[in-house]
Amino acid sequence: MPWFYMSDMLSQGTDSIRKYSYLVTKMKFPVSTIPTFVSISKMIVHFFLLAITIGIFFAFGKPVDIYIIQLPFFILLNFLFFTVFSLFSSLLSSMSKDFSNLVKSFITAVLWLSGILWDVNNIDIPWLKKLLMVNPVTYIVNGYRNCFINKVWFWEEPKRLLCFVIILIVLLVMAIWVYKKLRKEIPDVLS
């Protein structure tokens, strides 16, 4: 369910500054806002897919329950993480097209290692399970799964939430640092 948004943000979010380069080169437009409006446009599609998912649950006699109220929390985390990631990656991608190709090839690995197609909680190897749980995409996917299937509250897993927040903050700091370093050079590189 969240995979379509994640996949689009990994690929199209990474290419967002390059795709909208005319905004950067032809006029004075804040580069940092481009990944944000791409993320918002992808989030609208995500809301429609969530509505379809909820409809499928109702159609098969599995109505949503009280755990659904934590869904906005995971939607917000999803939006924040992939917006920050797309800001970071689009800045680097605007300087080097090879970085964009690297991220696109990385998407398949994220799909298989994040537990989108299988539940990471079912792994019996403790060190592998811990390693996979560090992945922020795994936290978001498990959050959606906990809302609909597992019936687990997000505060019941405080270590995973803390790990996600730390990774998000580190990524945000890196994105801000890269933005400050590259914002004056990007129009020249893209023109």
The one-digit pLDDT tens for each residue of the chain (191 residues) are 555 667 777 777 777 777 777 777 777 777 778 888 888 888 888 899 889 988 988 898 887 889 889 999 999 999 999 899 988 888 888 887 788 788 878 877 777 777 777 888 888 888 888 888 888 888 998 998 888 888 889 899 899 999 999 999 999 999 999 888 887 777 777 66
How many domains does the chain contain in total? 1
End-to-end CA, the chain: 38
pLDDT, residue 176, reads 92
Q: With DSSP H G I counted as helix, E B as strand and the rest as coil, what are the percentages for the chain, rounded to 5?
A: 80, 0, 20
Rounded to an integer, what is the distance from CA 18 to the centroid of its chain? 19
Structural domain boundaries enclosing 115: 3-190
Angle at the Cα of 173 from the Cα atoms of 171 and 177, rounded to 5 degrees? 115
Read off the pTM. Answer: 0.87
